[in-house]
Chains A and B, each alone.
Chain A
Amino acid sequence: MEALSPTMEEGQVVKWLKGEGDAVAQGDILAEIETDKATMELVARGEGVLRRVFVGEGAAAPVGDVIAIIAPEGEDIGALVAGLGGGRTAAADGAGASEADAGAATEAEAAAAKTPEASVAPVPDPTPVAPTTATPPTPTRVKASPVAKRLARDAGLDIATLQGSGPGGRVIKRDVEAAARAAAAPPTAAPAPPVSPWPAPSDTEFEDIALTQMRKTVARRLGESLGPVPHFFLTVDVDMTRALAARKRVNELLAARGAKASINDLVIKAAAVALTHHPECNAWWQGDSVRRFHRAHIGVAVAVPDGLITPVVRDAQAKGLGQISTEVRELAGRAREKKLQPHEYTGSTFSISNLGMFGIEEFTAVINPPEAGIIAVGAVEERPVAVGGEVIVQPRMRVTMSCDHRVIDGAQGARFLATLKSFLEEPAAILM
């Protein structure tokens, strides 16, 4: 029973305008209710089918009591009905909800009961519709307190990577302080995994593995990404003949310095230079603005034992292959030991994920917000291609770019990829 006037304590059903089994749309008039003031219309707050009516015409019910159930056709309301002794609590309990859910349900109803007459329309749904999957509002900005933001900036922490303990996951001061402490503390040495050529025999059907903080962060961040970030994907297939030759030549020269560049290092360099030509792809989505960067700080996805992390090669557009190679190796090494400082894995403007070493030919990578783009680099493989009407075999590599459509449009992403492809197919062009 909805409070249809501010002072209403109970209402009497004058007439049901919908019967059991009738379809109900939101806004439909369900019944006429006599309140302490007048006869009012009871309006449906949800849609579905009027499944059960508990309070007949002429009968009264106190505000907050369940007088009927609207639910989707075919949904099992048995438990709900069984649990209904009449009160709102019973309704919540009966739905098999946890205590917390019960609290939420009754809170919503308490709110409904308080809503004054004037705003009858937007009152929360008084029907105990079993917990439907409500889509949470999509976050468009990092929820963090101003003080927390300043602290994070000082500590060199990316606030977006922190787990908030405030209402609705809001990052507050204590979260940043804890993260700063964790970053400062020497990582606890992980016990060495047992060395065994065979997987240990298992006598259980399954194993539950608790989520590490990193796993949680990965989950949350990827969820944030695929949820609100409208991705689209562009793939190019690159002839790597000259890139391989260039890498070979560079490595001959680097050998004297004891360095050795990988194909991925070359991709980092080529992408960074290409990004300086296409700053629209070297950008952050900031909710109410887009930040375009003039320098390319490339996040390089590194697999670590319980997840992944993207250490950043700063100003990659200005660095030589030898330096990029050294940095990536060094950063990746420390990433695996969990010894990265926060500034070493934050602030990237664009990311690269390479699964070529696993023989993955082509894949799509998930954008690392607030960045607007990431490229997924596959393996270099000999593949037959048609060139000038003839089929020849070439080393080829597929690069798939994920773009945040709020920042990058299709043509912009395509132009960037074309530049990247031209650099990889003719590495000398990078020097132009």
Chain B
Amino acid sequence: MAGNTNGRTDYDVIIIGGGPGGYVAAIRAGQLGLKAACVEADKLGGVCLNIGCIPTKALLSSALLVGELKDAGGHGISFDGFTADLGPAQKRSRKVASRLSNGVSFLLKKNRVDHVEGYGRLLGGGAVEVEKDGEKRRITAGDIIIATGSRPRSLPFLQIDEERIWSSTGALFQEQAPETLVVVGAGAVGMEFADIYNAYGTKVTVIEALDRVLPLEDKESSRAVAQAFKRRKMDIFTSARVESTVARDEGVTISFTDRRGKAHTLDVDYVLSAVGRIPNTEDIGLEAAGVKLTERGNFIAIDEATRTNVPGIWAVGDCAGNQLLAHKGMHEGVVAAEHIAGVGHHTVDYGNVPNCTYCHPEVASVGLTEEQAREKGLDIEVGKFPWAGNGRALAAGDSTGFIKVIRDKRYSEVVGAHIVGPHATELIAEFVMARHLESTVEEIDRAMHPHPTLSEAVAEGALGALGRALHI
């Protein structure tokens, strides 16, 4: 009845995958009056919602609270026999995830999207095979959006078994915080779990192959977080190389060399492998449909409107490369659905994707790092405003870090913004908006920010980039 299928195909659009890229594409397609089906073999919401962003954020909230309670003396709060037990926190985290997964199911229903349970494969043309419990059936559509996501990478010397050597998934299902944990990989995932386990009493060691933690962030952000983690008694080895991991019943022996080439061997309870993710682009019928992959990384090659090389086939989210971030996938999902419905006017601006790490202190950024801006030869001015100059941060007792704004001197564009500190991941949105609207740094300052708030520091950072921050 609805849609433009005219009876030739079962659907206007089939979305393979019900993670953040897929389900958002499905909702938007439904809103636009397209008859849509979302094929998902597992739980709706994908990794993000079930075993990724959301449950880890629930745990990080617990971890932050633990940290605050440990320092609660200054607020006049004291405890006898203070304990922090990971089990209930994990349970709470699962509850949050399952509530949201049900929410996605409701949203699909509300937008008249058929949730097709099963494993989807392209058959070529507009056909998709859905396999469930060994049964296969075929559905067709005018357009297909691939949103099959990604999975943790396993390295030869670091084979994930989820028993002793975890991926993020294993780390999310522990009832107890172990005594010792090595985290391999100091990207967002590694740093977040290091934070969680540290808060619950685990002795955490972080090993990173590159020369700093959070290597995609600005150097100053990396340094600030590394310092904060060290203050929390975590050991951090950068420019370090893992040589071997041997898992036994009662623990893991991990050998690595540090930046000076010195060999270390640690016997720990568990190892978390957080060395990146690889796309789910095998066994989904890409060859049958003739969909091309990128030369590096086996991602599906797309353009800025999420089109693959095959007309009528689109790809969004982690499987399509670029930043492997849920919000990027969601945005691509919207863009894909709108283009399919013929109302697509915008493309994905991959240069304006915010990065967020929710450890304590939080880290967020958008645009270029200072180093990248200088490498590009831009004539820049950098402003850095420390939280120590912000009343609200001081009042809240959380004044680690800074807001750094990089301004292109020619037109005063916001080239990049980097935040370490309280609610960094919320505050970054203002810079994303400023960049999207092509605002100048002056305008961020001219827009009045409420006092006393953390957001004032955004304006101060902007002023800093003009050489005239007020409160420093």
Binding site for B on A (CB under 8 A): 9, 85-90, 92-93, 98-100, 102-104, 106-107, 110, 145-148, 150-151, 154, 167, 172-173
The verdict on A145 contacting B439 (CB below 8 Å), with A89-B2, A103-B341, A167-B345 known, is: yes
Taking the complex as formed, is B84 at the interface, i.e. its CB lies under 8 A from any CB of chain A? no
Q: Which of A85, A90, A98, A103 has the most CB of B within 10 A?
A: A103
Within 8 A of A (CB), among B401-459: 410-413, 437-440, 442-443
On whether the beta carbons of B341 and A99 are closer than 8 Å, the reply is yes
Interface size class of B (residues with CB under 8 A): 20 to 34
Given known pairs A87-B2, A89-B33, A93-B4, the reply for A99 and B342 (CB within 8 Å) is yes
Asked whether A172 lies within 8 Å of B32 as measured between CB atoms, the reply is no
Cβ-neighbour of A100 out of B343, B410, B412 (below 8 A): B343
- Least distance between A9 CB and chain B CB atoms (Å): 8
Instruction: Select which of A90, A103, A150, A167 is within 8 A of B2 by beta carbon.
Output: A90
- A150–B412 CB distance below 8 A: yes
B395 within 8 A of A: no
> Do the beta carbons of A173 and B438 come within 8 Å of each other?
yes
Q: Decide yes or no: A88 and B411 within 8 Å by CB, A93-B4, A146-B438, A167-B345 being known contacts.
A: no
Q: Are B439 and A146 in contact (CB under 8 A)?
A: yes
Find chain B residues with CB under 8 A from A167 CB: 345-346
Q: Indicate whether A103 sits within 8 Å of B439 (C-beta atoms), given known contacts A93-B4, A150-B412.
A: no
Binary contact track B1-37/A, C-beta < 8 Å → 1, others 0? 1111000000000000000000000000001110000
**B31: A residues at CB distance < 8 A:** 106-107, 110
Given contacts A98-B342, A146-B443, 17 further A-B contacts (CB under 8 A): A85-B2, A86-B1, A90-B2, A93-B33, A99-B342, A100-B343, A103-B33, A106-B32, A106-B33, A107-B31, A110-B31, A146-B437, A146-B442, A147-B412, A147-B439, A167-B345, A173-B438
Inter-chain CA distance A173–B412, complex, in Å, is 13
Report the bound CA distance from A86 to B1 in whole Å.
8
One of A92, A99, A102, A147 near B411 (C-beta < 8 A): A147
B-side binding surface: helix, strand, loop or mixed? loop
Report chain A residues within 8 Å CB of B4: 93, 99
Contact partners of A100 in chain B: CB under 8 A: 342-343
Return the contact of B343 from the options A88, A99, A173 (Cβ within 8 A).
A99
Chain A min CB distance to B366 (Å): 16
User: How many whole Å from B410's CB to the nearest CB in chain A?
Assistant: 8
Within the complex, what minimum Cβ distance (angstroms) separates A321 from chain B?
Answer: 42
Taken residue by residue from 96 to 130, chain B's Cβ proximity to chain A (1 for < 8 Å, 0 otherwise) reads as 00000000000000101000000000000000000
- Distance from A127 Cβ to chain B, minimum over Cβ atoms (Å): 17
Within the complex, the shortest CB–CB distance from A275 to chain B, in Å, comes to 34
B1 near A85 with CB under 8 A, answer yes
The closest CB in chain B to the CB of A151 belongs to B411
Residues in B308-362 with C-beta less than 8 Å from chain A: 338, 341-343, 345-346
Q: Which 7 A-B pairs have the closest CB atoms?
A: A145-B438, A89-B33, A99-B342, A103-B343, A147-B438, A89-B2, A106-B33
Task: A99 to B32: give the CA distance in the assembly, Å.
Answer: 9
The minimal Cβ–Cβ distance linking A267 to chain B, given in whole angstroms, is 40
Residue contacts A-B, CB under 8 angstroms, 22 given: A85-B1, A85-B2, A86-B1, A87-B2, A89-B33, A98-B342, A99-B342, A100-B342, A100-B343, A102-B32, A103-B32, A104-B343, A107-B31, A146-B438, A146-B439, A146-B440, A147-B412, A147-B438, A150-B411, A154-B410, A167-B345, A173-B438
Query: A88, A110, A151 — which one has the most chain B CB atoms within 10 A of its CB?
Result: A110
- B411 & A107 in contact (Cβ 8 Å cutoff): no
A173–B435 CA distance with the chains assembled, in angstroms: 11
The distance in angstroms between the C-alpha atoms of A85 and B345, with both chains bound, is 29
Inter-chain CA distance A93–B112, complex, in Å, is: 17
C-alpha spacing A5/B389, complex, angstroms: 46
Report B221 CB to chain A, min CB distance, Å: 25
With A85-B1, A88-B33, A146-B443 given, is the CB distance from A103 to B438 under 8 Å? no
